[in-house]
Amino acid sequence: MDKTGARRLVCVSAAGAYITGDPDTGWLLKAIVPRVFAKQFADVRHMENVVRESGLDWTIVRPARLVNRPGAGRYRVRPDFPPPHGRTVARADVAHFIAAAMTENTWLHDAPAVAY
């Protein structure tokens, strides 16, 4: 990106990597999910740290559990954690959110979570 002069970076992370801090997630999920996905979530958190320190105009998109179904065109966005009861989101809706964030230059230096 340095060589081409590109400044804008939008990357996909995982809302689950931060489940222990989510005020709307129940204790059982907070106890189980981080243990099951410990290695993957460690990689996600490392990637986010690298992006944050990059000096770029970044946005880190944290989708809820991705599902294979047509986009609904209606999804909710909240800083850091999925909206209450937002457990899933279609890949198409995440793509829509990414395109909007890039073209509208929104959510700079932020990590919005996307879910239904």
Domain count, the chain: 1
Position 86 scores a pLDDT of 93
Q: What's the CA gap between 72 and 17, in Å, rounded? A: 25
Contact partners, residue 49, CB within 8 Å, separation at least 6: none
Cβ pair 22, 71 in contact under 8 A? no
Decide if 73 is inside a domain.
yes
Quick check: 114 pLDDT over 90? yes
Quick check: 23 pLDDT over 90? no
Position 96 scores a pLDDT of 97
Decide if 2 is inside a domain.
no
If you ran DSSP here, which 8-state letter would residue 68 be given?
-
pLDDT tens digits for range 48-77 = 999 999 999 999 999 999 999 999 999 999
User: What is the average pLDDT score of the chain?
Assistant: 93
| Residue, of 25 and 39, whose pLDDT is higher | 39
Q: How confident is the model at residue 7 (pLDDT cuts 50, 70, 90)?
A: very high
Bridge-based pairing of strands 65-67 and 76-79 is: unpaired
Decide if 76 is inside a domain.
yes
pTM value surpassing 0.85: yes
Decide if 12 is inside a domain.
yes
Quick check: 46 pLDDT over 90? yes
Q: Which two tokens stand for residue 31?
A: 């106890």
Decide if 1 is inside a domain.
no
Q: Which domain holds residue 97?
A: 8-115
Average pLDDT over residues 35-52: 93
Decide if 3 is inside a domain.
no
Decide if 52 is inside a domain.
yes
Decide if 16 is inside a domain.
yes
Q: Which CATH number goes with the domain that contains 88?
A: 3.40.50.720
